[in-house]
Structure formats: C-alpha cells, structure tokens
C-alpha cells in the first residue's frame, strides 16, 4: 500500500482519461495513491517507480516527481510527456492525464497461498520454479505474481511462464534469476525453499498482447523471456495469425535456455516466425556462428515487409536493454504507443 508523503486538505484535482473521471488530491498525495483510494482501476505494480506499469501521459498541468522518473521511463517517453502516477504529485489546481494502458479487461489481483514443489536449473543463474497453489490463479498471458516467503520482509514480482488456462492454473511456472546477495534467490538456489509455503497475490502487471494482426518484434533479455514465452504459447494455442520475430539476448551459449520450447512454438506458428539469439560475451574463439553483440542492434532484422509504423514491439528484460530497444524502434518509425515492455530489475 502506498503511504501519503504529506498530510493536509484537498488542494488539487486530476481528470483521468479515458475513464472520464475527476479525482480529488490531498496535499502530497501521488496520482496513483489518490486514484486507488477513490476506487479507480489504475494500472500499477511495484508502486515505487521501477516497473513502469502506471505509465501515464501528462496532457495538461505540472507535477512534482518524488523520484527520478528516468529510471523506469526512457528519454523518448519523458520527452513525449509521460510520467509515473506512483511518483507524481500534482502542482496545479487541475491536471489532465491519460492512461497509457487502461487495463480495463485485466483480472483483479487476489490473494492465495502456494508451495514450491520443484526447481530445475536452466542456466548457471536461472531456475525454472514450479509452484502449486491452493486454488486456481487467473491471469492474462504476460502478467506476473507478487510472491513473498513468510518471515522475509520483501515481496518479489515474477512473470508467469505458461499460457493461462480457462478457469485458472493451480500449477504456476516461473523463470527466476539469481540475484547476488538476494535473500530469496540465495535460499532458492541453495535448495532450502523446496516445499516452502508462499504468500501469492496475482495477477499483476499490464504487459499483455494487444488485439489486432500487426507483425510483432519481441525482444527478451535474461529471465525476461518468461512473459514473452507465456504470450507466444497462448497465441499458438489460440492459433493467432501474426508474423513474429523473437530476439533473445544472452551473454554466452551457456546462458541460452528454453530453446526446444521456442523451436516448438516456431514449428507450429501459422505465420512467419524468426528466432534470433544474440550473444554479447561469447568467446571470440568459440564455434558460435550466430549473432554477436547487443540484442537491440539486431532489431532491423525483422525486415520492412510491413512499415515500422504498423509493427508492434514487445520487450522484456533489464532496463538498459529496454531503453535501447525503445530508442531503436522509435528511430525505425515505430510509435511509442505501439511499444509495450516489462522492465526486470534486481531485488
């Protein structure tokens, strides 16, 4: 829950589009805090300015940023007038904002318990973790769960790997990367959390497939492959016909994983599907004949059969990769509004 930064009487108001509602803001409240307290379905996730789920376009008025918005938003987004509702307090009597993604059709988060039933090493620092839940969990492909181990102070957000099922899933899969010095992942990789009960709140996040038949460029880095695999598996299951290029950035060949699963997706894909793994630290003397360098340097491989203004971008991974990917896609002609991303931060 977000706590007010200051106290005081109502001083400002914010009109929220496309909801068409105006909310009152107490002195020091953020836009997100005020909206949630007044029953507005405002997309959010971390509430501390790192995930970008509450990205909002400022149409009129000024705001005071509580933290550096450049951590979660790219320079292109900042220049276009985007802010984070969880870190923005209005400075004017009336402020007009527009949600980047209203998220009206996303299921609301609910609490349940789960239990870690198995872990399997995919790379030296990524595990596939299976969690059995006390009841089925409903989510949209691309979304995440808020996970907390009782007794540990912090909760973590992890994206679902599998395609959702009608009525929800009671077995949840996650790709979890080891964070050096991280209390949760240190215990997880040591094997001491198998059988551990978890507090789960899900679903969270606004990363999901948008409707339409536009060609897609998907870019993943590290454990950011999880939500994209979920989206692609769900698309395959429903036979959605969209051309797709999947770029996967890793350090070396030993850091590539889920290759058989991606090959299965590609084999059953009803439209052209191109998979391009890109290695940034592969030894020069190795037998690797594929792409080398930064994954974002290979975005243009998608080709120009469709104008970039009509292509959609889906990006999941570390913030530097996301920022570089947005910059490259916009420079090719893709509008910001057609770029959807999930930033994966340590912790």
Give the model's pLDDT for residue 266: 96
Q: Provide mean pLDDT across the span 333-347.
A: 86
From residue 144, how far is each of 74, 115, 139, 272 by CA, in Å? 22, 17, 8, 28
Q: Is the confidence at residue 1, as pLDDT, over 90?
A: no
Total Cβ atoms within 10 A of residue 247: 24
Would 10-99 and 216-343 be classified into the same CATH topology?
no
Give the model's pLDDT for residue 42: 83
Q: How many CA atoms lie within 13 A of 133 on its CB side?
A: 20
Q: Is the confidence at residue 2, as pLDDT, over 70?
A: no
CATH of domain 10-99: 3.10.20.30
Q: Per mean pLDDT, which range of 39-43, 154-158, 215-219, 246-250 is the poorest? A: 39-43
pLDDT in tens, 311-321: 999 999 999 99
Bigger pLDDT: 275 vs 72: 275
Q: Is the confidence at residue 105, as pLDDT, over 70?
A: no
Q: Could you tell me which of 206, 277, 217, 265 has the C-alpha nearest to residue 240?
A: 265
Q: Is the confidence at residue 304, as pLDDT, over 80?
A: no
Q: Provide mean pLDDT across the span 338-347.
A: 82
Residue 7 binned pLDDT confidence (cut-offs 50, 70, 90): very low
Q: Is the confidence at residue 242, as pLDDT, over 90?
A: yes
Total Cβ atoms within 10 A of residue 46: 21
pLDDT in tens, 66-104: 888 877 888 888 888 999 999 999 988 888 898 876 655
Give the model's pLDDT for residue 72: 80
Give the model's pLDDT for residue 43: 79
CA–CA gap between residue 177 and residue 254 (Å, rounded)? 14
Domain chopping of the chain, boundaries: 10-99, 110-204, 216-343
pTM for this one?
0.84
Q: Is the domain defined by 110-204 classed in CATH 3.30.465.10? A: no
Q: Is the confidence at residue 41, as pLDDT, over 90?
A: no
DSSP letters, 99-136, are ES---TTSPPPEEEEEEEEEEEESSSSEEEEEEEEEEE
Q: Pinpoint the alpha helices (H) of 140-194.
A: 183-189
With a pLDDT cut of 70, the percent of the chain lying above it is: 94
Q: Is the confidence at residue 234, as pLDDT, over 50?
A: yes
Q: Provide mean pLDDT across the span 222-237.
A: 96
Q: Could you tell me which of 139, 150, 44 has the C-alpha nearest to residue 100?
A: 44
Q: 84, 60 in Cβ contact below 8 A?
A: no
- Burial code (b: 16+ CB inside 10 Å, e: under 16) for 143-164 equals bbbbbebeeeeebbbbbbbbbb
What are the beta bridge partners of residue 198? 114
Give the model's pLDDT for residue 305: 78
Q: 172, 130 in Cβ contact below 8 A?
A: yes
Q: Is the domain defined by 216-343 classed in CATH 3.40.50.300? A: no
Q: 131, 174 in Cβ contact below 8 A?
A: yes
């Amino acid at each position: 829950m977000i706590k007010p930064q200051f106290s005081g009487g109502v001083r400002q108001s914010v009109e929220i589009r496309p909801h068409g509602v105006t909310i009152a803001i107490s002195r020091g409240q953020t836009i997100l805090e005020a909206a949630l307290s007044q029953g507005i379905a405002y997309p959010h996730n971390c509430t501390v300015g790192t995930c970008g789920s509450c990205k909002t376009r400022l149409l009129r008025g000024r705001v005071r940023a509580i933290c550096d918005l450049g951590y979660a938003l790219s320079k292109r987004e900042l220049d276009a007038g985007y802010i984070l509702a969880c870190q923005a307090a209005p400075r004017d009597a009336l402020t007009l904002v527009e949600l980047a993604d209203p998220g009206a059709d996303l299921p609301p988060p609910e609490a349940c318990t789960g239990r870690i039933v198995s872990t399997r090493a995919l790379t030296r620092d990524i595990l596939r973790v299976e969690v059995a839940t006390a009841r089925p969990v409903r989510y949209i492909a691309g979304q995440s769960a808020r996970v907390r181990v009782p007794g540990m102070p912090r909760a973590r957000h992890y994206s679902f790997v599998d395609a959702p099922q009608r009525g929800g899933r009671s077995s949840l899969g996650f790709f979890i990367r080891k964070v050096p010095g991280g209390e949760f992942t240190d215990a997880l990789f040591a094997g001491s959390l198998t059988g551990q009960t978890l507090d789960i709140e899900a679903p969270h996040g606004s990363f999901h497939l948008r409707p339409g038949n536009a060609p897609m460029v998907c870019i993943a880095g590290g454990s950011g492959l999880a939500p994209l695999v979920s989206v692609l598996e769900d698309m395959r299951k429903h036979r959605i016909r969209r051309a797709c290029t999947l770029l996967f950035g890793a350090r070396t060949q030993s850091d590539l994983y889920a290759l058989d699963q991606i090959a299965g997706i590609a084999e059953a894909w009803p439209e052209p599907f191109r998979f391009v793994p890109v290695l940034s630290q592969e030894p020069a003397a190795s037998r690797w004949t594929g792409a080398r360098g930064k994954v974002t340097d290979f975005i243009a491989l998608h080709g120009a059969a469709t104008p970039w203004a009509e292509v959609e971008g889906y990006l999941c991974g570390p913030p530097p990769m996301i920022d570089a990917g947005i910059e490259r896609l916009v420079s090719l002609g893709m509008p910001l509004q057609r770029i959807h991303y999930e930033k994966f931060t340590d912790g």
